[in-house]
Amino acid sequence: MEVSTLAAYHCLAFVWYFFVTYSITHIKTEERPSEVFLYGGQWKYLTVLNLVLQAVFYGVSFLADVLRLIKKLRCAKCIISSRDLLFSVLAFPVSTFVCISFWTLYTYNRELVYPRSLDEVIPLWLNHAMHTAVLPFALLEILALPHRYPAKKKGLILLGFVAFLYISWVLWIYSVTGEWVYPLFALFSPPGLAAFFAGSLAIIISFYNFGEFLNRMIWGQSKFSS
């Protein structure tokens, strides 16, 4: 794909994610269901944090494209490295995890992850923007251009560290409020919850490996952006 076309695409994707993030974070306080938006606000939900992550990723991608267009290749190389690290370690696996885990649990019992009270506050289009569209965007990014993946050990350590930070945030909120971020967590005993977190980490690691596999199958082992 031509650099100018990539720049237009990344710019549009950035604007879209910025708009979606703005929409979900500016729900009027009086409209928020009290049982959902407690301590931590929207920033305790992985879905919302993922929106911010995607906005940052596409912003970095657009900056890399612009630098390539104006022939600032030395600066572009550094930004491209950051772009590829963001995408491979976080943007693709987290988006895939958010989409698949949300709709799996929603189909099983929506009250565990997305109570019906939210339907009165969050319109259907915004729900799909947060939980559905993130996966097609991630797949389109893989099709649009190759990404250089880090060494497997480095990538998994970074992904595991970010997962640890989020789990720590979830546990901190519970210690302060006595309420779980997602009602689903209340169904588990402490060992069961630890096993659930470990299983979730294993799943998101599998999505990391899947993204690397797709990147290699589509673009080959040696073709990378420059």
Predicted pLDDT at 70 = 85
Predicted confidence band at 34 (pLDDT cuts at 50, 70, 90)? low
- Whole-number CA gyration radius for the chain: 18
Predicted pLDDT at 41 = 78
State yes or no: pLDDT of 6 exceeds 80: yes
Predicted pLDDT at 42 = 84
CA dist., res. 89 & res. 78, Å (int): 17
Q: Hey, what are 36's tokens? A: 């959902």
Domain ranges across the chain: 3-26+36-219
Return the percentage of the chain with pLDDT > 90, whole number: 72
Average pLDDT over residues 52-57: 97
Predicted confidence band at 11 (pLDDT cuts at 50, 70, 90)? very high
Mean model confidence pLDDT for the chain: 90
State yes or no: pLDDT of 73 exceeds 90: no
Q: Which residue has the higher pLDDT, 134 or 29?
A: 134
Using one digit for the tens of pLDDT, what is the confidence trace for 134-166?
999 999 999 999 999 999 999 999 999 999 999
In the DSSP assignment, the letter for residue 34 is T
CA dist., res. 132 & res. 102, Å (int): 9
For residue 187, the one-letter residue type is L
3-state secondary structure the chain: CCHHHHHHHHHHHHHHHHHHHHHHHCCCHHHCCCCCCCCCHHHHCHHHHHHHHHHHHHHHHHHHHHHHHCCCHHHHHHHHHHHHHHHHHHHHHHHHHHHHHHHHHHHHHHHHCCCHHHHHCCCHHHHHHHHCCHHHHHHHHHHHCCCCCCCHHHHHHHHHHHHHHHHHHHHHHHHHHCCCCCHHHHHCCHHHHHHHHHHHHHHHHHHHHHHHHHHHHHHCCCCCCC
Using one digit for the tens of pLDDT, what is the confidence trace for 171-220?
999 999 888 999 899 999 999 999 999 999 999 999 999 999 999 999 98
Predicted confidence band at 39 (pLDDT cuts at 50, 70, 90)? confident
Predicted confidence band at 226 (pLDDT cuts at 50, 70, 90)? very low
